[in-house]
Amino acid sequence: MKFFVDTADVDAIRELNDLGMVDGVTTNPSLIMKSGRDIKEVTAEICAMVDGPVSAETVATDADGMIAEGRELAKIADNITVKVPLTWAGLKACKTLTDEGRMVNVTLCFSANQALLAAKAGATFISPFIGRLDDLNIDGMDLIQEIRTIYDNYGYETQILAASIRSPNHMKDAALIGADVATAPPGVIKAMANHVLTDKGLDAFLKDWASTGQSIL
């Protein structure tokens, strides 16, 4: 499963990228706001740092506006993925931008039917939001499984990009189901390394080593 980092914090991206943990980046208007930087400036910096797709989101609500904004965003770098919402206008924009050879990430997906429409429109990525479904006491992983089954049934090439990831368990479950990509905040990706038994075992080893009075260096 590919790891995308869901942030516009270039320092956090750089740290994970240096470890080989970054296959792409997703941003949205809220993340750009948190960065406090100009959208084109920060997106260009991220695109130069990361080899994989970098999602930059349109903010227009009509198809023509999304298409115009998508074309403008695509000028930033070759690895830009234009991000559009899963509305009827967004699907129209997806079809046009895809036909022009651009990568498109259709976001805010909350049903298998929506994902099927996005695949038919030629989306490069579909972004089902797991955490927001969980907030409504709906298992977001059920949606990932439904989309996986439908796409596999018919050979759709649209990649499932599990989004709204809240925990390491979300990452594990998305990988088990077969999501192509998971996008998560840097803190969630780093938390995947944590386990109480690892900490306990390391503490015991260090105490035993200290008792030997030895030094490796």
Helix (H, G, I), strand (E, B) or coil at 26: strand
120 vs 181: CA distance, rounded Å: 19
Contact assessment for residue 56 and residue 44, using Cβ atoms and an 8 Å cutoff: no
207 is catalytic: no
Contact assessment for residue 8 and residue 29, using Cβ atoms and an 8 Å cutoff: no
The type of residue at 107 is T
Q: Pick the catalytic residue from 2, 75, 83, 92.
A: 83
According to DSSP, the residues that pair with 81 across neighbouring strands are 55, 103
**C-alpha dist (Å) from residue 37 to 29, 32, 67:** 11, 7, 23
Decide: residue 217, CB within 10 A, 0-12 exposed, 13-18 middle, 19+ buried: exposed
Enumerate the active-site residues.
Answer: 83
